[in-house]
Chains A and B, each alone.
Chain A
Amino acid sequence: MKSQPIDSLKRICIVGLTLLLLVLYIYSAVEHSKRINLDITRVDQEAYLSYTRSLYETNYNFVGGRNRMPVYPFLQSLVYDPNLTENEAFTRGKYFNIALSVAILPCLFLIFQRFFSRLQAINLLLITAFTVFLFRAAYFQAEILFYFLSFCGFLLMAWMLKKPSWKLGIATGVLMGITHLTKASILPGLALFVLAFLAQSIYLFYSNLRNKTFSFNEVKNNFLLRILSLALVIFCFLLTIYPYISTSQRVFGHYFYNVNSTFYIWYDSWNEAKQGTRAYGDGKGWPEMPPEQIPSLEKYLQEHTASDIFERLFDGLNKVIVVAKDSYGYFKYLVIYLAIALLTTLANLRSLKITKSQVFLLFFYFSYFTAYTLLYAWYIPIASGNRFTLALFLPLMFCLAAAINANASERPQIQLAGKQFSWFHLFNLFVLGMILFELYPILTNRIVTTFAGT
């Protein structure tokens, strides 16, 4: 009987604290939009507003220049009012993005809570909200939506590698399609997933045959079910993006035409791209310039030495780390989580059990992060800043938290004031204290001084 009032009080406290943090988040994001992000011409916000306007004015019959993707402008067009001036439309768009980020945060919490303890989920949410999302919320850009969608896509792909099913295949394909239509940078991740999944399926087929624990028909059916799931991922993905890619094929001659991945990636600087295919109308059709001047991997390899390529990659990696380090404050959490994940894994290496099937999941994780880090490092001479690399933040934090979680039950126990505490509990309390303590400098100083495009 006595526990009822305590529970109610606890609930009121939780609701009150959540509301307080939410108010702080919204207030800070709005202040950021009023004080820092005032110039629509900075980063590519003007281009997104123009895309939104064009979608609205052409009754959603706009082809676009194959630089930005249509999902985010479509969402913005739902709140677009042609009676507004450009500045008013910009302000409305920023507020819409803040609202979008607020809507995404509870979804993220639910995802975190499904895999981790409540305290861990709260920590991950607070770190994401106040060191990443807050600094990108007040912008007329697709980033926050993309971070969320690509994270969901990453989870679904990982889930497929753990426990594939046809339903999951459909969900993964559709979600990856929507993510691709938000920002066209998920194809390498999808390709790595297909590779890992195929390798895993073939391995399971042969190992199950060799073990003879299952009949041939069972092994064959299991294999076919896996292949069907994979085929559904690819089919649903292509089906979702088909209207877009078929237009690309008709107008630009390639299904996966995108000016960034087709041309700009093979330039050494943004100035080169501006004077190159961009000046020859790459957004209106295949650039009308001498074929030998059109950039491609082949041309890049012909014109650059191995040391040039390594130098670009090395410089890019260096910049990625420097930008992350000097950014909004998320870097230290990444380092802490990485360090603890490594330490606990190494400490419990003897009790670590990885099945051969899980090797493919680990391969997917590892190759995903490596490939994207290298890709973003490669692309940094064209587009500096951390907006691309931040797409890796949520998947990476998730994986590190999962690695820490896997060793949660292991020792050591720490004795404090005569009581035994698990290191895991103390670590999470430490992180919670850290992020709550950091809220003060974030909300009083960093948010009103740091521009997100840096």
Chain B
Amino acid sequence: MKARNWFMETWRKLDLKYDRNRFVQLLLLFLLLIGTVSYANHQVNLRREQSVLAAYFDQITNLFTSAEQNAVTAKNAQNLARARAIATLHQLSGQSKGRLLQFLAEANLIARNQALIDLEGMDFSRVELIAVNLPNIDLDRANLTEANLQDSVLARASLEEANLRQATLSETNLSRANLSRAALIRANLSAAVLKATNLSEANLRGANLRGANLQQANLTDASLEAARMESAFLENAQADRADLNNTILIRAILNQISLRDANLRYSNLKGAELERAILTNIDMRASILEEASLTDADLSNANLTRTVLINANMDNINLNGTNLNYANLRGADVSKNSLRQAILCHTVMPNGEEENRDCP
């Protein structure tokens, strides 16, 4: 009680009154102080990181120069270089990590198929390398979580089983790169160039692939669930057994794509082009194919239950054994001959009438 009385008495004596102007001034002063302290801290860290990096560059240069003179120690030098890289990476932030990676690439130490330093499992998370040219590098199994490699050239790079979760790869050139079994969950690959890229068994769940060029890409067994792929270009891509469940492919170009045994349940392909596409045994239940072009596509044994095919162009389509139960084909351009082979139950036909020919 004494303490409480003392506190109340002191407060009363201080006669502190709320003054709006003084409060704003104090707040600004406080913010300025925080800003100055954090800027100073940033500068100190930057200098420390620069010195750490410089030391690392010197060590690696010396290491490989001496290793060149003595062939026996070459393997040891590689191991040592890897160990030092691991130790150094722990002390670096994103930008410095980027400089380190660039140094290793330009020194030709991580070239694809002839890497002198194995980067497997190395922590390059949040690395920043914007608009740099790093073709043909080996980053297999590296940790590149939340990396920013925007606008860079990583063509023919090997990123097998690399962790690129939530990485920014928009407008990045990854053509002919190997991203097999890589984790690209929620990665931003908008407008990325993925021509003939190997993405087999890669995990692209929730990835952003808007406007990406995936021509001739290999997406076999890849998971693209809920990926956003509006206006993506997938001509001649291989995506057999791929999981494209709930994917948004509005106005995407999928001509001559191979999607055998793939899963495209609940996907939105409104206005997409699927001409000469191989869609045999595909699961496209409840997907939207409104105004899509399916000319010459092969949909034999496909499951199109509850699919919306309103105004779709289905000229010369193969519907042999295709399940069209509850599908809506109102206004679709499809010949009676093609529909003769399909399974029709509660199907809304192009003229708007319901067809129950194959109902059990």
Contact = CB atoms under 8 A, between A and B. Distances in A.
Q: Do A and B come from one complex?
A: yes
Interface of A: 5, 8, 54, 57-59, 61-63, 82-83, 247, 250-253, 284-286, 288, 290-291
Interface string B235-264: 000000000011000000000000000000
Nearest to B4: A8
Contact of A253 (B165, B205, B265, B326): B326
Given A62-B225, A82-B185, 4 more contacts: A54-B225, A250-B266, A253-B326, A286-B305
Interface string B169-203: 00000000000000001100000000000000000
Contacts of B205: 57-58
B165 A285 contact: no
A420 to B, nearest CB: 36
B14 interface: no
Given A8-B1, A250-B286, A61 B206 contact: yes
B276 interface: no
Given A61-B226, A284-B285, A290 B360 contact: yes
B1 A253 contact: no
B165 A63 contact: no
Given A57-B185, A57-B186, A291-B360, A82 B165 contact: yes
18 contacts: A8-B1, A54-B225, A57-B185, A57-B186, A57-B226, A58-B206, A62-B225, A63-B246, A83-B145, A247-B266, A250-B286, A251-B266, A251-B306, A253-B326, A284-B265, A285-B265, A286-B306, A291-B360
Contacts of A57: 185-186, 205-206, 225-226
Interface residues of B, number: 19
A105 B360 CA distance: 54
Contacts of B186: 57, 59
B202 to A, nearest CB: 13
Nearest to B166: A82
A285 B246 contact: no
Nearest to B359: A291
Nearest to B308: A250
Contact of B246 (A58, A83, A253, A290): A58
A250 B246 CA distance: 12
A65 to B, nearest CB: 12
Contacts of A252: 286
A58 B226 contact: yes
Contacts of A54: 225
B248 to A, nearest CB: 8
B287 to A, nearest CB: 10
Query: Chain A: interface secondary structure?
Result: loop
B185 A251 contact: no
A5 B226 contact: no
A251 B265 CA distance: 9
4 tightest A-B contacts by CB? A58-B226, A61-B226, A59-B206, A251-B286
Contacts of A291: 360
Nearest to B326: A253
Nearest to B263: A284
Interface in B150-181: 165
Nearest to B246: A63
Given A62-B226, A82-B165, A285 B306 contact: yes
Contacts of A59: 186, 206, 226
A157 B326 CA distance: 39
Nearest to B245: A63
B163 to A, nearest CB: 10
Contacts of B305: 285-286, 288
Contacts of B226: 57-59, 61-62
Contacts of B306: 250-251, 253, 285-286
Interface string B268-310: 0000000000000000011000000000000000000110000
B285 A285 contact: yes
Nearest to B303: A288
Interface string B321-353: 000001000000000000000000000000000
Interface string B1-20: 10000000000000000000
Nearest to A59: B206
A8 B2 CA distance: 13
A250 B267 CA distance: 11
A285 B360 contact: no
B276 to A, nearest CB: 28
Taking each of A57, A251, A288, A290, which has the highest tally of chain B beta carbons within 10 Å of its own beta carbon?
Answer: A57
Nearest to A9: B1
Nearest to A290: B360
A288 B145 CA distance: 40
B137 to A, nearest CB: 24
A410 B82 CA distance: 84
A83 B186 CA distance: 14
Contacts of B185: 57, 82
A59 B186 CA distance: 7
Contacts of A253: 306, 326
A82 B186 CA distance: 11
Contact of A63 (B1, B266, B360): B266
B285 A251 contact: yes
Nearest to A83: B145
A309 B5 CA distance: 73
Contacts of A63: 245-246, 266
B286 A62 contact: no
B64 to A, nearest CB: 33
B112 to A, nearest CB: 27
A284 B286 CA distance: 10
A59 B204 CA distance: 11
A321 to B, nearest CB: 43
Which among A61, A253, A286 has the greatest number of chain B C-beta atoms within 10 A?
A61
Contacts of A285: 265, 285-286, 305-306
A252 B206 CA distance: 22
Contacts of B285: 251, 284-285
A207 B123 CA distance: 77
Given A63-B266, A285-B285, A290-B360, A58 B326 contact: no
A191 to B, nearest CB: 28
Chain A CB count within 10 A is highest, among B145, B265, B285, for B285
Interface in B111-152: 145
A57 B245 CA distance: 13
